[in-house]
């Protein structure tokens, strides 16, 4: 019994590092696009988290520029090590 590969199944299945055929330009392009799409989603999530925390504004600029008290030069806080 042979497996039939349909375009729909191929387009909807995520290609993993173990499965990608880097020698195939079409598959390499689909894999790159898939990874870029996942990276963009991660970036949107991080930006939304930073905005929700009040650390950056809608333009991506830092809202707070002062360092927290424990990171100031004269802080008594030390790192154990």
Task: Decide which of 1 and 45 is more confident.
Answer: 45
**Which residues are registered as beta bridge partners of 62?**
56
Per-residue pLDDT of 41-72, as tens digits, reads 999 999 999 999 988 999 999 887 787 788 88
Residue owning tokens 């996942």: 38
Kindly state the helix (H) or strand (E) to which residue 79 belongs, with its residue range: none
- In the Cβ-directed half-sphere of 40, how many Cα atoms lie within 13 Å? 6
- pLDDT of 18 > 70? The answer is yes
In the chain, % of residues over pLDDT 70: 83
C-alpha distances out from residue 59 to 5, 48, 55, 78, Å: 45, 12, 11, 34
Residue 10 corresponds to which tokens in the numbers above? Answer: 């191929």
């Amino acid at each position: 019994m042979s497996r039939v590969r349909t375009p729909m199944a191929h387009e909807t299945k995520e290609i993993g590092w173990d499965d990608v055929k880097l020698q195939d330009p079409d598959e390499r392009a689909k894999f790159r696009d898939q990874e870029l799409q996942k990276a963009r989603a991660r970036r949107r999530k991080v930006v939304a988290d930073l905005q929700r925390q009040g650390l950056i504004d809608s333009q991506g600029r830092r809202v707070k520029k002062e360092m927290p008290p424990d990171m100031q030069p004269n802080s008594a806080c030390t790192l154990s090590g």
